[in-house]
Structure 1
Amino acid sequence: MELRNARFVVIMLAALSLGVGIGHLMQLPARMGWDQYLWVGSTVQGGAYALSGPLGVLIQLTTIIALIVLALLLRRHGAGGFAFTVAAAAMFAIGLLIWWVLVYPVNVELAKWVNGPVPDNWAEWRSLWEWGQAANGLSQLMGFAALIASVLVEKAKQRS
C-alpha cells in the first residue's frame, strides 16, 4: 500500500507541474506573434504569470524530490519501473535546470519593466522567456511519459 500511495502522490504532483509547463508550450505560437504592448502588458505588467514562477518551481522541485523517493521505494521493494522513474526524475530536473538557466534571468530583467521603460530589445527577452518555458514544458512532458511508463511496466510484471 505504501508504494501505491507514493505513486499516486507522485503522479498527482507530476501532473500539476506538467500543467504549468505544457500550458506555456501550448501558448508559444500565439504569444510569439504578440506585439510589445500585448506581450509586456500581459506577461510583465498584467501579472498573468505572477504565481506561475514561484508556485510552478515549487511544485516542480517537490515533484523531483517525490520521484527520487519513489525510485528509492521501488528499489527497496524490488518493484518494476525503477529505471523509468529515474528517467522521469532526470527529465523533470532537466526542465527545472532549463528554467533556472533561461527563464529566471529573464524574470529578473522583466521585473525592471513593471514600472520602468521597456528596452528596444524586448523581443529578444521574449524569445528567451518563451522558448525557455517551452523547453521546460517539453522536458516535463517526457518526464511524465516516463513516469506513466514506470506504472505500466509494474502492471505488466504483475500480470506475468
Structure 2
Amino acid sequence: MNNSNKKIAESIELWHEMVAAQDLSRLPEIVAEDAVFRSPAFFKPYHSSAAVCLILNTVMQVFESFEYDRKFTTESGHDLALEFIASIGDKSLKGLDIIRFDDEGKIIEFEVMIRPLNALQKLAEEMSGRLSQYVTQYKDTQQA
C-alpha cells in the first residue's frame, strides 16, 4: 500500500468511526479546504471545507436509522461509493455517498444520490429549513 492509499484508508476509517458515533467533530481533519459538495437536490455544487462540514453535520441530525450497506472502491483507491439506508420521519430512503480523495487522504468531492423522490423531497425540505440562511455563500455561481 503506497503512502497516499494509506492516508486515504485512515480517512475512511475515521469517517466510519465518526458516522458510527454520530459525531462529525473531527470531519475538518479529513476535508480539503477547496472541497466540493454535490447535493442530491440541487444542481449547483457547494464549495469549501466549511460548506462540506456544515452540510454533513446537519444531515447527520436529519437522518434517522442511518447505516451503510455496501461499499465500492476504484482500483486507484481515490474514489469510494458507500450505499446507505436511512429514514426521515415516515420516509425510508436509499442513497449513495460518492467520495473522492486527494493523495493526502483529504476529501475533495462528496456527492450524494438519494431515492425515492418523496424521501429526497423530504430531505431537501428539512435541509433547506435548517441551512438556507447559511449555505448560499458556498454555492457555485458559475454555470456547470
TM-score by length of 1: 0.28
State which structure, 1 or 2, has the greater radius of gyration over its C-alpha atoms: 1
TM-score by length of 2: 0.30
Name the structure, 1 or 2, with higher relative contact order (CA <8 Å, separation 6+): 1
Tell me which protein shows more strand as a share of its residues. 2
Tell me which protein shows more helix as a share of its residues. 1
